[in-house]
Amino acid sequence: MRRSLQLMGRGIASQPRTYLLAIGTSAVFGAMMVGVSQALGAVTDRVVVPALEGSAQARSQVWVAGLVLFGVAVTLALAVAGRRVFAGIGYADIQADHRRAVTRQYLRLPMSWHRAHPTGQLLSNASSDVEASTGVFNPLPFALGVVVMIGVAAVALFRVDALLAVTALAVLPLAVLANLVFQRYMSPAITRAQQLRAEVSDVAHESFEAALLVKSLGTEDREEARFAERADALRAANVRVGQVRAVFDPVIDLLPSLGTLVVLLVGAHRAAAGAVQTGDIVSAAYLLTIMAVPVRAFGWVLGELPRGLVGYDRIARVLDASGVLPTGDASLPARPGGAGVRMRGVQVLAPGAEGDVALLHDVDLDLPPGRVVALVGTTGSGKTTLASLLSRLRDPDAGTIEVDGVELRQIRPADLAAQVALVAQQSFVFEDTVRSNVTLADPDEPGAPDDEAVWEALRIARVDDVVRALPDGLDAQIGERGANLSGGQRQRLVIARALVRRPRLLVLDDATSAVDPRVEQQILTGLRAATARPAATAHQPADADGDVGLQSDQVTGPTVLLVAYRMSSVLLADEVVHLEGGTVVDRGTHEELLGRDPGYRELATAYLLESERRSGLQETLPVEQAGAER
C-alpha cells in the first residue's frame, strides 16, 4: 500500500495543475451522478406517482421534471469530457517525463554500465516498462474524483435509511478484500511478463543487428526458433495475467449488482413496515447502481497497480543506477594547436571471476601538443581502454589524466566535447543525411558547421568524391546504419564527423581498419597537413596528390593518438608507444623500438606481414571490386 501511494503521489505531484483539473471535473461528475439519483427520487414522489394516481397538477409539471433531468445530464456530460481530456493529458505527460528521464540517464551512465545491460532490456525499460509504470494514471483521476460520489451517496443513503445505507456500503470492503487476493496472484505474473518482454526485445534486436550474419550463414531457422521460444513464453505469461484479470474484473463488476438486489430486498421489507417510501427505495437502488461506477473505477486502478509497481521498479533500477560520471566546472581554453596530455599512475579495473582484474596499471604517458603518437600492442593489452579514457567514456580507478594541465574530471563536458574527438572501432552512422551525420546538428542550429566546413572535412577524410557522386550530395539519405555506403566509406564519414569540429585532441581507435592502406595513408597525411591550418587558410588548394602543404605561419595540428594495427599507420607517427599487459613497456621512434624492444619487433613484423597480405589480396581482386573503395 505504501509503495502504491508513493507511486501515485509522485505522478500527481509531477503534473499538479493537470491532475487538479482532472480530479476536480471527476468530482463534479460524481456529485452530478448523485444529483441524478436525488432528482429521480423527487420526480418519482412528486410527479410520477401522483400523475399515475390522476393528479392534473402533477401531469402539468412533467416538463419541469424533464428540464431538471436534462440540466443534470448536460452538466454530467461536460464533467465526463473534462475528466477524460485532462486525465489523458496528465497520463501522456507523465509517460513522456518517464521516457525522458530514462533516456537522459542512459546518456549519463558510462559505457561500462551499458556493456553490462542487454540492449533489448534497455529498449524495454524505455518503452513497455514506462507504459506499465504509468498505466495507473489514466483511471486514477476518475477513481479519486468519484470519492466525492461515495461520500455524497453515503450521506444520501443514511438520510433515507440507516439500514439501507449499511447494506449498500458493504460492497466497498468486499472490493478491497477482492483486491488483496488479486494483488497476491497478479504481482508475480506481471513481473514475469515484463521480464519476458525485455527478453523478446533483446532477441529481436540481436537478430536485426546480425541480419547480414544470419543471412550469410543461413541460420534463419535457428533465429526464428529462438525468437519463437521467447515469444511463446511471453504469450503464456500474458495469458496468465489475463486469467487473473478474468477472475478479478467480473467479481468487481458483480459486487454492486449483488448489493442492489440486497438493497431491494431490504427496501421492500422496510417499505412494508412503513419506514421508507417507494421513492426512497428507488433513490437508494439507483444510488447503489451508480456506486458500481466508483467501485469499477477503483477496480481499474487496483488492477493496474501491480503492473505499475513492477514497471516502475524496473525503470527505477535505471534511474538509481550508480556510476554516473561527475561533471566538472573547469574551463579548457581553446588555444591554437594541439592539446598536451599527461597521464600519471593510471589504473583501470574490471570485475573478474576471482576479483578485480587490472585492464591498465601504472600507466605514465605524455602526449606533447601537435604530435602524432601511435599506440600499438597485442590484443587485450588495453589500447581501447586507454583511448576511451581520453574522451572520458570512463574514469580511471586510480591515477590522474590532465589535458593542458587541467585534470580531466574537472573539465566542463562542453569544453571536453568541443576539443577532444574519438573515432571508435565501430563506425556508427544514423539513418539520416550525409550533412546531419557529419555535423550532428540541424542546419539552422546555432554554431552548426556550414556546408563549406563539411566539404572540407569530407575532403580530408577522402570521402568527398563519394558524397559528390550521390544523387543529393550532402542531402543524400545513407540508410539505416549507413546501409548505402561500404564499410570503408562509413569509416571515412565518421572521421569527417570528428574533423569538422577541428578538435585539439583526436583519438583514432583503429578508425581506418576497413580502408585500404593507400587511402589510409592519404587520410593520415592529409590530416597532419590540413588540420594544422588556421581557419583563415582552411581552403588552400591541394597538390597533385590531393594533399595540402603547410605554410610558414601555420600553428601545429591536433594532438593525435592513433591506435594502430598496420605498419603504414605506425610509420606516419612521430612516436610509438608499446602497450603490453595493460602498461607502457617502451616508447620512442619506430627505429628505436625495433632496435631495443623484442616485443615490439615481433609485433611490427606481424603487422608488416598482415599489411603485405592485404595488399596482395587487393591486387588479385577484380578491377571493379578493387576500385569500389576508391
> Residue 289, exposed/middle/buried by CB under 10 A (0-12, 13-18, 19+)?
middle
pLDDT in tens, 371-430: 889 999 888 888 888 988 988 888 898 999 999 889 998 998 888 888 888 888 777 888
Confidence of residue 514 (pLDDT cuts 50, 70, 90): low
My answer on whether 63 and 99 are in the same domain is yes
Q: Which of 286, 319, 352 is the last residue of a domain?
A: 319
Angle CA(379)–CA(380)–CA(381) in degrees, nearest 5?
95
Tens of pLDDT along 295-328? 667 777 777 777 788 888 888 888 888 777 888 8
Ranked by mean pLDDT, which of 158-172, 467-481, 573-587 comes out on top?
A: 573-587
The answer to the question of residue 141 being in a domain is: yes
Residue in this structure with the C-alpha cell 561500462, named with its chain if needed: 112
Count CB-CB contacts under 10 A for residue 201: 21
Q: Are residues 98 and 211 in the same domain?
A: yes
Out of 319, 349, 377, a domain closes at 319
pLDDT of residue 207: 78
Q: CA nearest 513: which of 404, 383, 386, 391?
A: 383
Residues 361 and 228 in one domain: no
How far apart are alpha carbons 260 and 291 in whole angstroms? 10
Residue 331 within a domain: no
Give the model confidence (pLDDT) of 246-283 as tens digits. 887 787 777 777 777 777 787 777 777 777 777 777 77
Last residue in a domain, options 284, 319, 354: 319
For residues 86 and 15, the answer to whether their CB atoms sit within 8 Å is no
pLDDT of residue 621: 42
Which CATH number fits the domain that encloses residue 459?
Answer: 3.40.50.300
Instruction: Quote the distance between the C-alpha of residue 443 and its chain's center.
Output: 25
CA 21 to chain centre: 30
Paired residues of 563 in beta bridges: 375, 509
- For residues 457 and 540, state if they share a domain: yes
441 and 571, same structural domain?
yes
Residue 325 lies in a domain: no
Say if 326 falls within a structural domain. no
Residues 6 or more apart in contact with residue 491 via CB below 8 angstroms? 427, 511, 512, 513, 514, 515
pLDDT tens digits, one per residue of 156-193: 778 777 887 787 777 777 777 777 777 778 778 877 88
- Higher confidence at residue 468 or residue 156? 468
Residues 286 and 372 placed together within one structural domain of the fold: no
What is the domain count for the chain?
A: 2
**Residue 528 pLDDT class (50, 70, 90 cuts):** low
In a domain, 332, yes or no: no
Taking only the tens place, the pLDDT of each residue in 12-51 is 888 888 988 888 888 888 777 767 766 776 777 777 777 7
Residue 44: count of CB within 10 angstroms of its CB: 20
Q: Please check whether residue 454 lies inside any domain of the structure.
A: yes
Q: What is the pLDDT of residue 4?
A: 79
CATH code of the domain containing 264: 1.20.1560.10
Contacts of 206 (CB under 8 A, 6+ apart): 119, 120
Residue 343 has what pLDDT? 93
Residues 271 and 419 in one domain: no
Task: Round the average pLDDT of the chain to a whole number and report it.
Answer: 79
* DSSP-derived secondary structure letter, 570: H
User: Same domain, yes or no, for 425 and 494?
Assistant: yes
3-state class of 502 per DSSP? coil
* 142 and 64 in a common domain: yes
291 and 411 co-located in one domain: no
For residue 581, give the nearest of 352, 350, 363 by alpha carbon. 363
Q: Alpha-carbon torsion 431, 432, 437, 442, what sign? A: negative
Q: Could you tell me how far CA 356 lies from the centroid of its own chain?
A: 30
Q: Is residue 183 a part of any domain in this protein?
A: yes
The domain in which residue 241 lies consists of 2-319
In sequence order, what are the beta bridge partners of 433? 477
Report the alpha-carbon angle 606-607-612, nearest 5. Answer: 100
379 and 295 belong to one structural domain: no
Kindly state whether residue 23 falls inside one of the protein's structural domains: yes
Phi, psi of 404 (to 5 degrees): 55, 40
Question: What pLDDT does residue 401 have?
Answer: 92
Q: Pairing between strand 583-588 and 505-509?
A: unpaired
**How far apart (Å, rounded) are the C-alpha atoms in residues 401 and 608?**
33
C-alpha to C-alpha distance for 211 and 213, rounded to whole angstroms: 5
Separation of alpha carbons 306 and 321, rounded Å = 23
For residues 302 and 355, membership in a common domain is answered with no
